[in-house]
Amino acid sequence: MVDLKETLRNIAVAIVDNPDEVVVVCNETENSITLTLSVAPDDMGMVIGKGGRIAKAIRMVIKAAAAGCNKKVTVDIR
């Protein structure tokens, strides 16, 4: 199985200017996984993107990576 937490962290580090401030927290329950991505306030616009396009793309990539785990995956960006 793919490490979703590390995958999300790698994507975020590649996008932001302050990679040291990228934090990913994983909360896993019986049938769902919630990944919370926190970045520096200055980098928030880079992660969200124009009209939320980058955030939507990040969520799609993570959901595709989690296809085999049979759990609902949610990505929160803070």
Residue-wise pLDDT for 19-57, tens only, equals: 999 999 999 999 999 999 999 999 999 999 999 999 999
pTM, two decimal places: 0.94
Q: How many domains does the chain have?
A: 1
| 6: pLDDT strictly greater than 70 | yes
For the chain, what is the total number of helices (H) and then of strands (E)? 3, 3
Question: What is the C-alpha to C-alpha distance for residues 43 and 20, in angstroms, rounded to an integer?
Answer: 12
| 13: pLDDT strictly greater than 90 | yes
- Residue 33's domain is classified under what CATH number? 3.30.300.20
- Using a 10 angstrom Cβ sphere, with 0-12 exposed, 13-18 middle and 19 or more buried, the burial of residue 54 is middle
Domain interval for residue 25: 4-77
